[in-house]
Amino acid sequence: MVRHGARGERPRTREAYLSVSRVLYLPPHILRSTRGFTILEIIIVLFLFVGLLGIVLPRISLEENLGSVGRQMVRTVRSLQDLSMVTQKPLRLYVDIDRGVYWLMILDGDQEKVPVEHPTWATPLYIPAPFRISDMVVGQAIKSSGRVDLSFYPSGRIDPMTMHLVDARNNLLAIAIEPVTGAIRMSDERIDPLPPTPLLILDRVKPLLKMTEVVKDSRQP
């Protein structure tokens, strides 16, 4: 005869005890596997893991920081493009490559004015250390020192330019403004200026040019 306890309590049968024992039972091979590693093996694994983290983490951190500086520069260019379109005034961004300093001037006729009404640009801004400008490409010229200026126009157009940033380990990040579309792209490789495209003259136009030269020669005394 099975004795029942208080109301709502399950009867304590032999089957109930067996089910609990099955749940708590650990097979012998599991117990042996947990005791299969020695302290020396665990120390070696931890040592290798810590060494791997010491190699990987600094590199990841530097790349992320360099990328964040690049993204900040892209946001700066886009904000100045919008500012020029909203105010309908041309802007000029000056960059001192040697000091890593850049500042903004508003063009008012033939004069340049400090944008005091915009607190962000009231004073020059700096590229944070340990990052620096390696060089800048303006047109076909590559400048690694001195001052470079970048113009923004009320139509939304921006002068084409490429900036190369580097960090303490000489990891490189290129920021390029496309000359036609004004699109901005970033790359972890150098973006050098393309060679000038040669002027192609159609065969049917060449005789006309020759006739023009003949006419010019005939008019000379």
Residue-wise pLDDT tens digits, 109-136: 889 999 988 888 999 999 998 999 999 9
Q: In which residue are the tokens 């609990």 written?
A: 20
How confident is the model over 148-153, as a mean pLDDT? 94
Could you tell me the pLDDT band of residue 45, with boundaries at 50, 70 and 90?
confident
Q: What pLDDT does 182 receive? A: 79
Amino acid identity, position 83? L
User: What span, in angstroms and rounded, lies between the C-alpha atoms of 136 and 125?
Assistant: 17
pLDDT band of 138, cuts 50, 70, 90: confident
| Cα Rg of the chain, angstroms | 35
**Superfamily in which the 54-187 domain is placed by CATH:** minor pseudopilin epsh domain (3.55.40.10)
